Each structure stands twice: as C-alpha cells, then as structure tokens.
Structure 1
Amino acid sequence: MTVSADELGTQDIKKLLIKQAVPSSIGILFMSVNILIDTIFVGQWIGSLAIAAVTVVLPITFLISSLGMAIGVGGGSVLSRALGANNREKAKTTFANQIMMTFLLSFIFVAFGLFFSNEMLLLFGAKGAIMKPAREFFFPIIISVPFLALCMMGNNIIRAEGKAKFAMVAMIIPAFINITLDIIFIKYLDLGMFGAALATAISYFSCFLFVLWFFLFKSELKLRTRHFKFKLLIVKEISELSIVTFSRQGVVSILAIILNHILYTYGGEHSVAIYGIISRMLMFALFPILGITQGFLPIAGFNYGAQNYERVKESVQLSIKYAAILASLIFVVILLFAKPIVSVFTTDPKVIAETPEALRWVFAASPVIAIQLIGAAYFQAAGKAKKALLLTLSKQGFFLIPLVLILPNFLGIFGIWIAFPIADILSTILTGYFLKKEINTKLIQTTNGIL
C-alpha cells in the first residue's frame, strides 16, 4: 500500500486513491474504535455520567492537539506541492518548520489549559455532577497533549510522502495500547476516570514514539540542522492553510460548548451523555469517508503542484463517487440498527430510550456529505486558503451553530438533532457550487458525471 512521492503524479488515479485511502480508512477506523471502546468501557464500568465527563473534556484536548493536525494538514499541502514541483529542499524546510511550530504552540496552550483548568471545564459544560469525573479525566490527558499534537502533525506528513501504510500503523498502535490499558486500569485496578485518562495518555506517547521512529529511519525527508530555522515565508504559507483546519476544530469546540450547555438545560446530564454516544458514532461510522478525504489530499496536492489538472479533476470526481456510495450504506446501517448500537454503550434506560431517534436524525443527510468534505479538501490541497476556510467552516460555523441556538426554542431538544441534517444539506449546496465553478474554470475540463 506504500508509494513513493513521485508515484503520486504517475500511477492510475483509481489504484492510487485505493492505496492512499484504504490505509487512511483503516487507521481512522482503529482510532475511532479506540474512542468508541473507551466510551463503552467508561459507560459500562463507571456509568453514563462518565460518558458526559469524557464528552466535556475531549473537545478541550482535541482543540489543543488540533494545532498539530492543522499544521500537519496546512504544511502537508505546501509539502505536497513542493514535491510535485520537485523542490525537495523546500519540502524539508517546510517539515522542519512544522515540527518547531507544533512543539512551541502546543506547550503554550497546554500551560494555559493547566492554569485555567476549572474555568475551561466549566466553559465546556462540566456542570453539576459532571465536574468531578471531568477533573479526574482532564489532568493526565492534558499533559500528554503535546505528544498527540506532534503525532497528528507527523501523520499528515507521512501521508504527504505517499506512505499511507505507515500513517495507518501510527493510528493502530495507540488504539491497541489504549484498549488494553483501559481493561487493566479501569476493570482490574479500579482506577476509574483517572485510569481511563492514564491509558489514553500512554497511548498518545506510544504513537509519538512510532512517528519519531518513522522519520528517523523510513522517511524520504532526511532533515539536517540547517532546516531547523524559521523561514518567514514558509511559516506564513503553512499558517494560512493551517488556520483552515484549526478554525474548523475551533468551531467544533465552540459547537461542543454550546451543545453541552443547551443539552444540559433541556435534558440534564443524560442528554449530554446521549450526545457523547452520537459524537463517537459520527467519527466511527464515517471512517471510510474520512479515509477517502485524507487519501485524496496528497494526490490532489501533488498533481496540482505539478500542474496536472486533469489528474486533479479525476481524483475529485472519483473521491466524491466512492465516498457518496459508502456514506449511503452507512446511513442504511444506522437507520436499521440504531437501538442495538446504542445498547452497547450503556445500561441507562433513559439514554437507551432516547438516543436511537436522535442518532437517526443526526445521520439523516449523510449520503450527501461527500461533496462537502471532498470539496473543502480540494481547495486546501490546492493552497486556496480563503475558499478552503469558508467551506470548511460552513457546516458547523455558518449553519449548525445558528440552527442549534434557534431551533430548540421552538422544537425543544428535537431541534438540536434536526439541526444536523439541515446543516449538512446547506453546506453541501454551498460547497457544490464553488467546486463546480472551480472545475469548470481552473481545471479547464468539462465536468463529467457527478457535478
């Protein structure tokens, strides 16, 4: 499943997309299973209140660690285009600047999180009985976040090199370690929320060690001391594209704050737990679509840098086609098996009774999300930061947050769940418009089939 960077511009797009997307999908699957099983363990062995606590804490840690993801994706676009233009020195300097940016920024944010821990937990919805387990979970996790940030950054660069198989392994290793340690720390040593957090923290560090090993021994980007100097133009180019991913995660975190507070207002702790289950299922169930999106990025970026626009267009169309088919199948599974799925997470009868309908509504528009995800990814791969930012923020920022604030006033808690498919449809229409216009102008060729 591994290809060299140069093969991103020569191999058949269908075969290339499979080689890139399958390992990415498997990696995301294991990461999703990790989070899913983690939620099941704390729900079954500690209680539904523990799910609510995890739902509060994880958006904080993901916001900080998403600095690494953002720098990885933004710099990965710069790096892919540099490789496509056969400028390996720029690619190496870009990578070195990414390492320094991730290391510096993640430690600053972690220090801020530790100093204002109570305020952050309250802001993200740790109300009432949720606060105590949330604090137990927070501290071991926050200390390990810089390692997670470096892993997220490195994983994107591994994919940008065309080494999707190694990126997959980097996501599988922490999943196995976390699940194993969860069983030991929670079930047998009875360490509760602290044990769950400790298992997760150790798994992040294990991922970091593997990524470090890859870049020392397997990477094509052999860095030297001269590369580790901040280059203003490269930092600027990375930052302009990184802000797209970080802004998306920032908006996701703002959405989490709003949702946790509104859910607590309308339904108490158990409603926060319901969304905790749904949010885990969103990541787990959509893993193949996210894998295709990640597999698509280096292909589009490399060929855009090489000015091979016909291959870029073909990669866009195939990615949308495959992702749409898979998303439709996922929706059918959720529609038919919502209740058995929910029952795996908890024994709380109220949560089991109310979650299936909410889950079906949240996934209702999933068959159309392929256009939105691939479209936004295309503009990022092409280095078009403003359009990428607009389209990336469209679902959560422009549509979902306003809908979540407005609809519950008229429809109660049902208004929260119905907001998700409405936001999916509106953001897909917006992205489809810009993507079709881009294909018909920049990529020159007449669009066939999908758009």
Structure 2
Amino acid sequence: MPKVDSAALGKESISKLLVKQSAPASIGILVMSLNIVVDTIFVGNWIGSTAIAAINVVLPISFFIAALGMAIGIGGSSMISRALGANDKEKALKTFGNQITLTILLTTVFVAGGLFFANDLIPAFGGKGEIFEPAKIYYRIVLYGVPVLALNMLGNNVVRAEGKPNFAMIAMIIPSVGNLIADYVLINIFDLGMAGAAWATTGSYLVCFLYIFWFFLSKNSELKIVPHHFGLNLTILKEIGALGFVTLARQAVVSVTYLLMNNILFKLGGESSVAVYAIIGRMLIFALFPVLGVTQGFLPIAGYNYGAEQPHRVRESINKAILYASILALVVFSLIMIFPKEIVSVFTKDQHILEETPNAMRWVFAAIPIIALQLIGSAYFQAIGKAVPALLLTLTRQGFFFIPLILILPKYFGELGVWISFPLADVISTIVTGFFLNREIRIHLKPKEMEEVASSQKL
C-alpha cells in the first residue's frame, strides 16, 4: 500500500479527498455493519429471537465503556489533525501517547465496575424475563474484551487523523470477518450458543488490536508508540477531555436511549417488541454506513485545513460532504421504504415480528434523507476543536428531542408513539444544527476577499 502523507489533506481537491477519505471509511463501516447484521441473523436463526433481544440489552453497556476509547480517539485525533496541519509533530506525538494511557486506565476501571454490578445493570437495560440469562452469559464474556475494543477505536481514529483511511478501513474489516467466521464455528459447529457468540466477538477485538499495534510500529505511521510520551500532560488531557466528552456524551445518551426503549417496549409488547427494536437498530447501523463514512472522511479534512488556516477549503469540505451524504441517505431511504418486509424476513421467521417490524421501520427511517446536515454539522465543530457547540449539537437529536418524545408520545399513541419519535427528532435537530452551522460559516469562514473588505472597513 503506497505511503500517504498528511500534507495531502491541505493540497488535493476537496472532492478527491472526500472520496479518498470517505470510501475506505464507508467500506469499513459497511463491513462492520454487515458483521453486526449477519451476527444478528446467525444468532436469530441458530439460537432464537430471544437471543437477539439479549444482545440488544448488552450492547449499550459494553459500547458505552468502549466509547471511552472512541471519545479519547476522536478528541485527540482532532488535536492531531490540527497539529499536523500546523506542522507541530511533537504535540501530535504527545497527544497520541496520552490517548493510550488514558484509554487503558479508564476502561479497566469501568469494566471492573461493570462486572461487579452485572446483576443490576442487565435488568436495568431491559434484560428481564427470558432475556436475562442469555444476556448475562453474553455480557460477562464480551466485557472482558472491551478494553481492547476501546484501544481499537482509539487507534482507528488516529490512523484516519494521519490521512491514511485505507489502513483504518482494514482495521475495521479484520474483526468483522473474523467474528463471522468464529460465529459459524462456535455457534453452528460447536453449538456453544450465547457463549460462542460472545467469544467470537471478543476474539475478533484481539485480532484487530494486533493489526493496529503493527501499524504504529511500522513505517506506515507518522506517529510512533514512544514510552516517554505516555506520561500524562494536564494541558493535553483537558483538550482531549473537552473534545472527547462530545463523543462520550453521545454514546451515553445512546445507552440511555437503549435503556428507555427496551423498558418501554417491554412494557408495551414484551420480548417480541424488544426484538423488533433490535432488528431496526441493526438496520440503522447498517443502512447509514455511507452517510457515516462521509462524516468520518470529512473530519480529518476539515480539521487539517482549519489548522492550516485555509477557510475556503473548510467551507468547500462542509458543502460537498453534506451534498454527497444527502444523496447517499436518499438512496438508503428509498430502499427501506420499498423493501422493508424482505429486509426483516432475513433476520427471523417469527410471524409476529415479521408483521410488526416493517411498518415500524418505515417510521424510523422516514426523515433519513435530511440527517446528513445534522451529522456533518455537529462533526464540523468537533473537527475544529469547538467542544461546547459540538456537544450541544451532538445531543440535540437523541438527548434534547428524542428522549423526551419517547417518554411522552407512547402515553397517547402506544407503540406507534415510540416509532414516530424517530423522524420528529431528526427533523427538529436538523433545523437547529443547520441554523448554528450557517451562522458559524458566515462569521468564521468568510472567503478571503470578504475578510479583506471587512478589515479595510475597520481601518
């Protein structure tokens, strides 16, 4: 694979960069999403629909802890992109070292707490009735591998911050393929049930870690794993924390959303309604892979050019990222609206779930064509290091709008109230994000000729 220098982020055309950065990210997310979807298909067909619900209960807990690595990775990667753009290699190296230390410390503590309080956390997230026992089996085994998953998430974001999306793509593909192979062997051949599904997942995390570790030891990386950079630096930690808290808060809200959704749906329709949500949740991850890929590809481009003080390139990257992501979202929307029954039938043969899920899925995806603006808008503020607006805009969809809606609407519309909360939250949060993004562009990303006129008027 040819070596790519991060300086290309400030020189090549924005369209070309978006394709180069987004295509590998999209492929990586696609494979990862296919892994989650196929994993759910295997579990649903080889173990049962209750097992799907059990995994859905465990995911928000394990992924919240793993999201510590993602938060530290994205927060630090914003700093690394801007540092490389400003030609400050030493700051980039120190940031990377601090990211590793912080991730190991925090995830180890949280995993220990998660294992100790397992019997309380599982029911709280909807693991009740027949769901509890399979969820507990899956939970304990998966949690052992969560610190490694966190380091993978950290490493993947740093690789992308260096402007090397192809390596980041491979880092996402390796565990996905490994997990599917292990699923088949452990569940279908050795008949290990939920334990087999859990060990397949944990083992795939380790394989991915070995690849990322090799990358940073090789000549492909501009950043190196140097022990003296592991010492914690308070200034760097504050900036990583401020920017990373955006991602962590988003994942915390996602976990709270799962908690509320699983419990609300369990009360309204029992285990089958939780299974319906589990299938829709997998489709949300899978179907949005191209939009999320564009968002991931956009981050290092915006961060690097902002650090290099090239506002015209930052503006162009915002506009083109929103355009490309919106077109892809429209394609996803069309497929979901036309083929919902065919999609659901792949996951389960349970007749009740087959009848209930397609209509619910249509509601959930109803506003997907406009979601690109919300995702790119909130990602932009994180890319340029503005933690407060990034945090607030990130929380608008699920935190400020979706959670209140699912607490209120089901009281009047029952289970339908849960599903219509999705498009309502999407529309409102997109309007809010669009307003603040437009204001930011007008004030801080003026074209050069406009800046010169404004400067001369002040004089």
**Hey, what does 2:302 align to over in structure 1?**
300
1:395 maps to 2:408: no
Q: Does 1:117 align with 2:118?
A: yes
Unaligned runs of 5+ in 2: 449-459
Does residue 145 of structure 1 match 2:146? yes
AA in 1 matched with 2:261: L
2:321 aligned with 1:316, yes or no? no
Quote the residue 1:263 is aligned against: 265
2:82 counterpart of 1:62: no
Paired residues for 1:31-46 under 5 Å: 31-46=32-47
> Aligned pair 1:128/2:129, yes or no?
yes
Q: Give the match for residue 348 of structure 1.
A: 350
Cα drift, residue 229 of structure 1:
1.2
Q: Does 1:281 align with 2:311?
A: no
Q: Match of 2:51, SS? A: helix
Please name the residue that 1:211 is paired with: 212
Q: CA deviation at 1:122?
A: 1.2
Share of identical aligned residues, percent? 58
Query: How far 1:2 moved relative to its partner?
Result: 6.4
List, as ranges, runs of 4+ consecutive aligned residues in structure 1 with deviation greater than 4 Å. Answer: none
Q: 2:291 & 2:387 partners in 1: Cα distance? A: 22
TM superposition shift of 1:230: 0.7
* 2:447 match: secondary structure: coil
1:123 deviation in Å? 1.2
Which one of 371, 386, 405 corresponds to residue 369 of structure 1?
371
Q: Distance in 2 between matches of 1:32 and 1:410?
A: 34
CA deviations 1:183-206 (Å, max 9, x no partner) are 111111110001000100000111
Contact 2:74 2:154 in 1 (8 A): yes
CA deviation after TM superposition for structure 1 residue 226, in Å: 2.4
Q: Please, which moves more after superposition, 219-228 or 322-331? A: 219-228
**AA matched with 1:290:** L
Give TM-score, length-normalised by structure 2: 0.96
> Does the 8 Å contact 1:2/1:165 carry over to 2?
no
Q: What is the alpha-carbon distance in structure 2 between the residues aligned to residue 222 and residue 394 of structure 1?
A: 37
2:242 maps to a residue whose letter is: E
Corresponding residue for 1:172? 173
Instruction: Give the number of aligned pairs.
Output: 446
Contact 1:2 1:19 in 2 (8 A): no
- 2:309 paired with 1:327: no
CA distance in 2, matches of 1:444, 1:77: 22
2: distance between equivalents of 1:311 and 1:375? 16
Q: Distance in 2 between matches of 1:323 and 1:139?
A: 37
Alignment partners' CA distance in 1, 2:291 and 2:253: 21
Q: Residues of 2 paired with 1:299 and 1:235: CA distance?
A: 23
Q: Distance in 1 between matches of 2:16 and 2:5?
A: 14
Shift of 1:228: 1.7
Q: Secondary structure at the match of 2:446?
A: coil
Per the alignment, do residues 275 and 13 of structure 1 end up closer, same or farther by CA in structure 2, a change over 3 Å counting?
same
Q: Point out where structure 1 has 5 or more consecutive residues left out of the alignment.
A: 447-451
The residue type equivalent to 1:26 in the other structure is: I
SS at 1:222 equivalent = coil
- For 2:455, the equivalent position in structure 1 comes to none
Partners of 2:307 and 2:257 in 1: CA distance:
35
Counterpart contact for 1:175–1:203, Cα < 8 Å: yes
- CA drift of 1:249 comes to 0.1
Partner residue of 2:49?
48
Determine the C-alpha separation between the residues in 2 that align with 1:423 and 1:160: 31
**How far off is 1:225 after superposition?**
2.8
1:338 aligns with 2:340: yes
Q: Note the alpha carbon deviations across 1:132-164, whole angstroms, 9 max, x for none.
A: 110111111000000000000000000000010
Shift of 1:4: 1.4
Residue aligning to 1:232: 234
Alpha-carbon contact 1:140-1:201 (below 8 Å) kept: yes
CA contact (8 A) 1:380 1:388 kept: yes
Q: Which amino acid aligns with 1:43?
A: G
> Where does residue 388 of structure 2 map in the other structure?
386
Residues 71-97 of structure 1, C-alpha deviations (whole Å, 9 max, x = no match): 000000011111111000000000000
Query: Could you tell me how far apart the structure 1 residues matched to 2:3 and 2:276 are?
Result: 39
C-alpha distance in 2 between matches for 1:374 and 1:17: 13
Q: Distance between the aligned counterparts of 2:29 and 2:419, measured in 1?
A: 25
- Distance in structure 2 (CA, Å) of the matches to 1:181 and 1:235: 38
Deviation at 1:282, TM superposition (A): 0.2
Cross-structure match for 1:159 = 160
| 1:127 aligned partner, one-letter code | K
The amino acid that maps onto 2:213 is L
SS at match of 1:171: helix
| TM superposition shift of 1:267 | 0.5
Cα deviation code 1:43-95 (max 9, x no counterpart): 01111100100100011110000000000000000111111110000000000
Distance 1:177 1:79 in 2: 30
